[in-house]
A and B are shown apart, each in its own frame.
Chain A
């Protein structure tokens, strides 16, 4: 019976301390009866191999013990969908917060281009650790909530809900709104603003090492840039809260209008660029040939912006019409449901 004792000892190691002796005593009584039953069938005592077979059939000690545990999961089936939803929803926000904090710290303490490259590398390298920490804290928090409910506070009950509170029907045409895309768009917008803010003090950020080449060129940026720079920057900054608002779930009904407002700001940026007309002026010691070149460049850029403005205006009008017609459809669908 040494094998039986060893088996019970192994099971006992994995049982909760509370009630362990009681469980082991019961298990011993049942296994002894089982062994006796086999011996009665065979009319003789079991050999060691036969005894081992009986115990092995009963199951691996750690698994047997685990079945006596009160809870076999960190987060139960009721809470898990809430946990998963929270994780999915909040992860892009963690990426966003991390990106903003890191960008601001790079911007405030930036030195040379090499330094910035190194810092950006460090930011990417640290992110897996931040993501894992976030996941660990969320999981631990939910596991603690799961453990505590029913013990320290009432169990989670699902809130009352109405089908009428659900988001309106998505139109089949066009892209479906994606939260991750929205966050990515917001991050890129912030990056562009930070980049534009950094450009006056760090001109190499425009074309990197190529900035040195520009110094040797027979033309320079027109002073008008100073005026339009702030106009464009202001419009880009105004886009950020609109894009952030579009990410808020409760704003889903006005998301289309928020996106239209962002598009309108984009159109205004192009209007500002078209108004500029002269982007480059001749520098000192410029030849007649270069003057013609600058004129051609300015005309080309202006034409490009005019074309872009025309396309943007058409697209804006199309989106506006779609939003208005979608709104009418929604109202019609709602009336049909009622």
Chain B
């Protein structure tokens, strides 16, 4: 328990630094150490080991026998358990958990220091140093293909000018305000310099024997089944209770549900329709799932096109959306109807403007009110029973939806039914997903469903959804699919992405929320999930609604939380 108190002390330190520096985004400090005791832990068995845990393969597509642990390879066999990030910020509670970096400090919004943890060893026995971190970051400058966090270009914040290591500190100097880069910067997976400086072009390098700092190393791989074994010399080995980790198979919904039920799989985070019936009800004491909100599914109109360029029109149909019905059909009522603020509630409660506190910001389903608003706004019902444009021309709405995305298709059916109830002549057109992306790029659509990211950095999520420089181009899909063009909003987003003072951030977020609540650029419908479906016969301590410490993208955090169920 000695190391635990050490870590606790460490997190206090982080808290203090943050309070002083108080930078970037809505950084909340971590309340507990990386592997704080949480969840329904069986107190008698905390020191017992879990012999084997079986999870789905990390590799997205598998062809027998292709093996590559290069973390940048699109089809990497596995990387999560070898290469670790600087820090982990769980997207649910937005707490920053120190990892390879024990601490960070912004000098200004254009310079940041990371303190690198002492005593971390690579799996080949060599120590991990600040040099390795600087090497990893500088490698991205030389090879643009490796820069998946946009460190050296101007994506969300100014580009880096220089990365240097001194002692146990890594300093990054940016060309300007780079506060918005923090969230992605800390996710950088650190690689060992002594291995990677000799491999030539790292984009084309095939890594067969990964040297990492993570909790596991490769035990065996037969082209299908990857077995990882626990590293006894891992820097927080006392928190890792899983002896063997088996990563195997890419399953579809049915297969995954059946494998989980049969106990051949311990956890899964892909889509399983109706997880309650397909999985949980079959053994409620062992089978669990938690679908954390990761963002919102939003109704996106083409705001450059009449009548969707009329705020009164957007407000009217927003009142007539039966969100409970959509949640029922698209998510089996697992995901709750979403707040019109665009914030992920209740997790982002602290960002809510005071005026809206204690107010239900989820729009009520009220078709009568919606119809009244349409009438008032001048969209009269024509002879065919459908509403016309203001100047009396027929109005038809094509709702574009991705063929094969069953949740979207189910929601689209409800939306079109709701639109018809508001006497709007709408119909669904399902196209292959890439064709829908083409419509986003060309702005060639009336309405569609879209995703609003709910991660911690509001400037990057709600902000980029509303910023005019994030409108998709002919070649690239970007966030502002609804093509919201408003100089005032742009100004708010710009200030927000450079804001360092929490009070100022909250004020600016409040202004964005106001745009959402009065202009209805998009209409949030229901929260979109980050899924975690798991069994508790081998391991306990999975994230849950009671203990929302991580989502499926933070597997390292989860691995340090799991305890034996026996």
| A and B together in one complex | no
